[in-house]
Structure 1
Amino acid sequence: MKTILMLTFCLALSSFGDTAPRNYELWEPQAAPNNGRSKWESTKSSKRPKSYDHDWERWSYPIGNGYTGVSIFGRTDTERIQLTDKTLHNRGIYGKGGLTSFAEVLLDFNQQKVSNYRRSLNLNEAIAHVSYMHKKVSFKREYFASYPDNIVVIRLTADKKGSLSFTVRPEIPYLAMKQRTGSITAVDNLLTLKGTMPLFSCNYEGQIKVLNEGGSVSANAKDGTIKVSEADSVTLLIATGTNYRISAKTFRNASAKKLDPKQFPHEQVSARIQLAQDMGYAALKENHFKDYQNLFGRVSVNLNSKPSVDPTHILLQKYQKGKTNTWLEELMFQYGRYLLISSSREKSLPANLQGVWSQDYYTPWSGGFWHNINVQMNYWGSMSTNLGECFQAYTNFYKAYLPIARGHAADYVRKYNPKQLTKGGDNGWIIGTGANAYYIPSAGGHSGPGTGGFTAKLLVDYYKFTQDKKYLEEVAYPAMLSLSKFYSKVLIPHGNKLLVEPSASPEQTSSAEQVKGMPGHLKGGRNYITAGCTFDQGFVWESYSDTLSLANELGNKDPFLDTIREQITKLDPILVGADGQIKEYREENHYSDIGQPRHRHISHLCPLYPGTLINSKPEWMQAASKTLDLRGDRTTGWALAHRMNSRARLGEGDKAHEAYKRFIRERTATNLWALHPPFQIDGSLGTMAGVAEMLLQSHDNSIRVLPALPKVWKTGHFDGLVARGNFVVSAKWQEGKASLISIQSRSGGVCRVNYPGIAKATIADSNGNAVEVTREGTDQIHFSSTLGETYLIKQIQQ
């Protein structure tokens, strides 16, 4: 997979941006409170577990490098540094694996009375800071998690020599629950935590190296601690690892055989620690910053905002009380980009339901990869916000689980339409909802097999945004062709229609009275199972359409494409009901005849966003808008993000902004994490995508600039967002009207731009030469672009 070309866009140096750098940070004048966690008790609930810690969820600051997540509290009596490793799972709440906390690292300072305290998380550099005065000494700390060196670094300094004295005291959490073994050793300046999760034969190890300048360190082998005495400065290096290997075997094998019990991570963890020690703090920090800024610094935005001087919790409180501040909206967008970079990198597992952070024994909903919207939402904005590399983690995950997904497809066809089974041949692939690092489910239950098409849309979009031909040939097109073969085998004739059967609209529940006399049935007394739900029919259509599109780009003539061309005309995927709504179920007449009227999922609108089908007819778009009105915005965090993106796709900028405002006011914690509740990362990443969708769209083969601009963002600019076709777009606007548009072509090809009055604008290349364009009415133009060239559009007359 080729590396996406680096950009020169920088938050401080944008040609359209501010003259001074915009510094994005979360900050507080106090350490995170310490109220303790709830006592753990056995529970089957998938909501907040009994190990719930309000202060962790609401006040800690997250850093991460894709592999390891770190939550920082900034305390001066005993600092708490909580670690999560994505690969360390216990049995989880469903018995199939679930993320669990890796370790706690406590730093006992015993500094009770401090002054001039400040802690912050700087998004421009991905470094957390703590500073304060104690007994006339100024203390400072820096924390970062480096992806290139896969190491967590903590630097402690004081402005008076010999002032740093503290104890490093690690803990292995939840040992009393007896799902893991563990021990801690302290030798010289090294602390080692290691043990086994017997269920999966998962061997884990963490190392903490204490490097002092001045003073001394001493290990206490008895209690597994290291004491630092009268040092000038100290650097802590932390590395975690397990014997987890991502492969089909890991998903397929029985629990105890998923991993090799004879493999231990000791050598690779030790090597990383030693290399980091050899490099030194300055080089580690430089490596980290260059790597991070290469991603984060590509995009800048100004949403008619002025930076606030308020602490983050005050900024949020004011917003919640109705004092809308577009600075917070802008900060939340960049925070989403920060969280995605921190939780999903090329060689790591993908961002899960909690990104890469969990302090729980049983992480809510197992902390897995939920394929009926949540994992997709994590990546909706990865390409448009210029973070395409972050999606490579999911591509690698897909490649690993594909053999299992193929087996699931064959089993599914055998069970529901055995006459269509191709013995020993390609029956396609399918994935269900609740996947994790050790388990891949098949379709079914409370979500229909549209989960496969929902997932595959990400693979298609990665190609469309990057124009990576190798990816098209090796990943995107084979995935779509095979998935389409699966769908062709599970469509059942209903008169002249072909319908997915069984079919379900994800997680929607109904009463027995609602479905009395209906052709379907309730499963588990709640979920209505029927034929041809819009969610499933829509994603069959999306998958068929995408397969044909990609085949055309490759010039592929596979005979199976004729089957797709014939079947796509019989899907009848979108139906409008008596109330002007998009039907969720074919047999409904009025809105919510079946199901909950205010349900969090809007699965029947997925063909609007992230799909494209509903956009093809104005009457369907009108029905989608009506459906959103009926569904309402009183819902969970991530569900507001989907509503925000859907409104943006409809061009309803003010309504998209209303969903965003409600998300911030009602579903945002004081550390700006998104709350379902409890904490889930998808809301943060979904609203990040929503901001981008309001500013730039490209789903209909044209670049639409400011397609859903709300009145409150009347003046501003954005630099570095990406449109399909691999075009990098920047724009500046005043009083709601674009005054300047810049487009960089990273792959060449035809560039089509849509904006009111653009046909009368002037278009020039980077040398000032006029560009020959074809005008399509008053609002659309297209021209042939050259790879690497930048085009400037100005004097736009609306």
Structure 2
Amino acid sequence: MAKYVYLLIALLIKVPAISQSDHILWFDEPAEYFEQSLVLGNGKMGASVFSGIKTDKIFLNDATFWSGEPVNAMMNPEAYKNIPLVREALNNEDYKLANELYKKVQGSFSESYAPIGTLFINFKHSKKAQNYKRSLDISNATARTNYNIAGTDFEREYFVSHPDKVMAMHYSTAGEEKLNFEIAFESEMKYEISQDGQTLAVNGYAPYHAEPIYNDVPDPVQFDANRGTRFTVRLQITETDGRIKISKNALSLSNASHATVLMSIETSFNGFDKNPATEGKDNASLAAQQLELASSKSFETLKEAHITDYQSFFNRVSLSLGDTSAPDIPTDERLYRYAKGAEDKNLEILYFQFGRYLLISSSRTKEVPANLQGIWNQHVRPPWSSNYTININTEENYWLAESANLSELHMPLMGFIENLSKTGKITAKTFYGINGWTASHNSDIWAMTNPVGGFGKGDPVWANWNMAGAWLSTHLYEHYIYTMDEVFLREKGYPLMKGAAEFCLEWLVQDKDGYYITSPSTSPENLFKTPEGYIGATLYGATSDLAIIRELFDQTIKASEILNIDSAFRNQLRTVREKLYPYKIGKDGSLQEWYYDWEDADPKHRHQSHLIGLHPGHHITPDKTPELAKAVERALEIKGDETTGWSKGWRINLWTRLWDGNRAYKMYRELLKPVKPSGLTFNYTGGGGTYPNLLDAHPPFQIDGNFGGAAAIIEMLMQSNENEIRILPALPDAWDQGSVKGIRARGGFEIDLDWVNKQPVNLNIHSPRENTVLLKFGSKEKEIQLKKGANSILFW
């Protein structure tokens, strides 16, 4: 109530309200739900901080802590024998039979990302707290909690350090009241707590199997003391003037004015193909070593190293969108104000930079990319297993990486793709009877690549899609074209791309007119409706399949030319690429999703996979393929703007590629629509948005909308391909002035840009070498000769 009184007085006496921050989230009460907590991470360890007054609850995660063990890729060795039968049914246009037969080409479900447990810091406060505030500063990745009790100021500060591999928590008071608290740990894992000198040690293990939450089966979570990934949590109090007491189950402090709590977490995960129980890392020793090294340093030393490391990524990009008059109110109330149409340019910047913050915080573990929830999850059976859903969601997680100058954080995905290629070769042989490698709808830390569905129990509409290997492989070329790292392309990228392309070459068949199509085929999670009224998923020649294959073939051809290798294979790709079944425009003017001009069972379906050629692909553009771009626009109009969080993030990017900045901006505002905490409530129809802590609401929570929405900001301001840079291609009217510095363009360029009245007034291109680039702004274009280093460009 006090803040509203302040704002009213400020208006009456014409005192300007303080502008809201573009890098701080803050709240005036503790978190009650996860979706209100403040998330911290060092790319491996994740912490969700609730900042309660009497109990400071913290959810703990580790990127490498999953249920399960190495996948048996040979789980269905004769599944491929069903492919000819499915194709025969499709040749006879018997889609119902094809759909039933395709269920025989299924394997197991993925495993689940698991929570480590919950830390409780229980305080003994004498009176009620006042002047409460908790905040997260994403410019230095630290969180704070402040309040006053009986005239004493209490402060807590938290961060998770990548250099020192610990979570550090500093508690202090200024006044007569003292710190008195007890630290306890609880988990739904199997675990034991012990005392090791002045350290509290927790050792436990994950289930060897956790069934997806949408499968109602007996004993869905299965533990065995001799199976599953091990974990260790170690806690220690340092730098204190109080009295430390430790028992078997708790660590306590009394009569202190200050204290630092350090925590290390390690798991036995040792690679996707190593049994974590018998071939795992020594998690107990690793956690002990990390804590011992960190405890020899002061909190300020740890903090300085943490901030220096974090800011080496975060400070690469800055964004300004001009003056703002938005008041300084808590972030949750700020979202509601914005949803009513109020101006808050700094909230728009905050959401963009929060996406970069989340990627830095969740994607720094070799071969373990950010999952559906980044690294933050409280459930043993989380939504969609918090796995890698690789029919869009994992890809969307990384749209931000290169353009937002976080290329190193793309590397965990690169390593994961290499792991998938190994199990994917077996999947290609056993499920499809062909060479190359492939991956399907879902995966997990064990690099599972088989079609899911529980060996025939799943609907092919989601279970049987098999183009993930091809789609993920386009990230390899994207990494190259942003970094121009030819060593990576030669040694890692191209061999993986070639393997995915080989699978596609052998998977394609020719239709009655000689065009190459996929058969059988599905369009991710969407259903068609035939003129006869049949609703199904399995057909041939889905547009999304062919769009992905076009993109992969184009990039593999380019990579082969750059490396000057595999000319025969390159020519084979070209020949087939030219004979792929062409895009078709339906009677309603939209780009067809299906081989025939059939209706969607749900015209407003959240997936828009047939539009991949526009985004994230590059072979549909308004200038080079205007009819197809118009058909994409019509498809988006039919689908509408109301959709789930990740889907809205994708649609914003699609509108930016159509150069409609105002439509993209409209949807960006809608992406920030406040959503109340929903727990495990699955809601496909209510529309996505943003939870109070700025995490994306599918709902429930999925992190891909954060990453997709942040990536779209850059697409509004700059788009590029190997040969050209387009400036302000989708700038909305609301952003008539501003500046951006440090974003990346394909070709290895770094861009600094200022604009006024929607016109660029300053452009600086940092080039890694002497180069030529075609610069475009609206209908104007100019070929620019670039020298190595900074190049200041004068506009027409």
Q: Shared fold by TM > 0.5? A: yes
Letter of the aligned partner of 1:742 in structure 2?
N
Shift of 1:703: 0.7
User: Hey, what's the Cα distance between the residues in 1 that align with 2:450 and 2:515?
Assistant: 25
Q: Does 1:653 align with 2:661?
A: yes
Letter in 1 for 2:284: H
| CA gap 1:21/1:700 in 2 versus in 1, 3 angstroms | farther
Q: Which residue of 1 aligns with 2:153?
A: 138
Instruction: Look up the match of 1:365.
Output: 384
Q: Distance in 1 between matches of 2:698 and 2:149?
A: 39
Equivalent residue, structure 2, for 1:97:
111
| Code of the aligned partner of 1:215 | G
Q: How far is the alpha carbon of 1:527 from its aligned partner?
A: 4.7
Give the 5 Å matches for 1:579-598.
579-589=588-598, 593-598=599-604
Change (3 A) 1:712 1:201: same
Instruction: Tell me if structure 1 keeps the 8 A contact 2:423–2:447.
Output: no
The aligned runs of 1:586-665 (5 Å cut-off) are 586-589=595-598, 593-615=599-621, 616-665=624-673
Task: Note the alpha carbon deviations across 1:321-351, whole angstroms, 9 max, x for none.
Answer: 2224222111100111101111111536211
Q: Is the 8 A contact 1:115 1:134 kept in 2?
A: yes
**Residues 359/198 of structure 1: CA separation in 2 closer, same or farther (3 Å cut):** closer
Instruction: After TM superposition, list the pairs within 5 Å mapping 1:227-238 onto structure 2.
Output: 227-238=252-263
Provide the C-alpha distance between the structure 2 equivalents of 1:562 and 1:607, rounded to a whole number of angstroms: 22
1:729 pairs with 2:771: no
Q: Give deviations 1:388-420, integer Å, cap 9, x for gaps.
A: 111111112122232111211222441xxxxxx
Give, in whole Å, the separation in 2 of the partners of 1:203 and 1:259.
7
Displacement over 6 Å in runs of 4+: none
Aligned position for 1:289: 307
Residue 474 of structure 2 aligns with which residue?
Answer: 457
* 3-state SS of 2:697 partner: coil
Q: Which amino acid is 1:288 matched to?
A: H
Paired residue secondary structure (2:600): coil
- Partner amino acid, structure 1, of 2:34: W
- Once residues 334 and 443 of structure 1 are traced to their aligned partners in structure 2, the CA distance between those partners, rounded to angstroms, is 36
1: CA distance, partners of 2:207 / 2:646: 34
The 3 A distance-change label for structure 1 pair 154 and 340 is same
Which position in structure 2 is the counterpart of 1:396?
415
Which digits, 9 at most, give the CA deviation of each residue in 1:283-319, with x for residues without a partner?
2111110111010001111123426411101111101
Residue of structure 1 in register with 2:89 after alignment: none
Residue equivalent to 1:56:
34
Shift of 1:259: 4.4
Deviations 1:194-230 (A, max 9, x none): 1123525311111111114212101122xx0111011
Matching residue of 1:3 = none
The equivalent position to 1:486 in structure 2, one of 503, 520, 532, is 503
Secondary structure of 1:207's aligned partner: strand
Partner of 1:129: 144
Find the partner of 2:60 among 83, 89, 98. 83
Is the 2:68–2:228 Cα contact (8 Å) retained in structure 1?
A: no
**Is 2:436 the counterpart of 1:428?**
yes
In the alignment, what sits opposite 2:132? 117
CA deviation profile, 1:604-638 (whole Å, cap 9, x unmatched) = 00111000122241111111111100111111000
Q: Distance in 1 between matches of 2:536 and 2:410?
A: 32
1:243 and 1:263 in contact (8 A); partners too: yes
Kept after mapping to 1: 8 A contact 2:22/2:346: no
1:339 corresponds, among 345, 351, 358, to 358
Determine which of 577, 587, 608 is the counterpart of 2:586: 577
Letter in 1 for 2:26: W
| CA deviation profile, 1:463-490 (whole Å, cap 9, x unmatched) | 0001111111112211222211111101
Give 1:700 shift: 6.0
Distance 1:738 1:441 in 2: 46
**Equivalent residue runs for 1:498-577 within 5 Å:** 498-510=516-528, 514-515=529-530, 527-577=536-586
Q: Which residue of 2 aligns with 1:240?
A: 265
1:188: Cα distance to partner?
4.3
1:205 aligns to what?
A: 232
What is the rounded CA distance, in whole Å, between the counterparts of 2:162 and 2:544 in structure 1? 37
User: C-alpha separation between the residues in 1 aligned to 2:790 and 2:536?
Assistant: 52
CA distance in structure 2 between the aligned counterparts of 1:201 and 1:90, rounded to whole angstroms:
7
Matches of 2:430 and 2:495 in 1, distance apart? 20
Secondary structure of the residue that 2:400 maps to in structure 1?
Answer: coil
C-alpha separation between the residues in 2 aligned to 1:515 and 1:110? 67
Measure the CA separation in 1 of the matches of 2:372 and 2:280.
Answer: 30
- Equivalent position to 2:183, from 168, 180, 194: 168
What are the ranges of 5 or more consecutive residues in structure 1 without an aligned counterpart?
A: 1-19, 34-54, 175-179, 251-256, 415-420, 422-426, 757-777
What's the CA shift for 1:450? 2.7
- 1:134 deviates by 1.1
- 1:371 is displaced (CA, Å) by 0.7
The TM-score normalised by the length of structure 2 is 0.84
Match in the other structure for 1:279: 297
- 1:722 deviates by 0.4
SS at structure 2 position matched to 1:383: helix
- TM-superposed deviation, 1:264: 3.5
Distance 1:625 1:550, change over 3 A: same
Cα RMSD, aligned residues only: 2.2
Distance in 2 of aligned mates of 1:481 and 1:617? 27
Distance 2:312 2:542 in 1: 43
The aligned amino acid for 1:750 is T
Alignment match, 1:793: 793
One-letter code aligned to 1:318? R
Distance 2:176 2:770 in 1: 58
Q: 1:217 aligns with which of 241, 244, 250?
A: 244
Percent identity of the aligned residues? 30
The C-alpha deviation readout for 1:534-574, integer Å capped at 9, x for no partner, is 10011111111111111111122432112111111110242
Whole-Å separation in 2 of the counterparts to 1:448 and 1:187: 50
Q: What secondary structure does 2:672 align onto?
A: helix
Deviations 1:355-393 (A, max 9, x none): 000011211101111110000000001100111111111
State the Cα deviation string for residues 750-797 of structure 1 (Å, max 9, x = none). 2321114xxxxxxxxxxxxxxxxxxxxx7222234333x111123x34
Helix, strand or coil at the partner of 2:509: strand
Note if contact 2:363-2:370 (Cα within 8 Å) is conserved in structure 1: yes
Secondary structure of 1:684's aligned partner: helix
> Measured at CA, do residues 124 and 95 of structure 1 come closer, stay the same or move farther in structure 2, by a change above 3 Å?
same
Matched, 1:701 2:723: yes
SS of alignment partner, residue 237 of structure 1: strand
Structure 1 stretch displaced more, 499-508 or 433-442: 433-442
1:708-765 deviation per Cα after TM superposition (whole angstroms, max 9, x unaligned): 0000011111111100011110111111111111111134432321114xxxxxxxxx
Which SS does the other structure have where 1:382 is aligned? helix
For 1:295 and 1:343, the matched residues in 2 are separated by: 13
Q: CA deviation at 1:258?
A: 5.6
Cα gap change, 1:21/1:78 in structure 2, threshold over 3 Å: closer, same or farther? closer
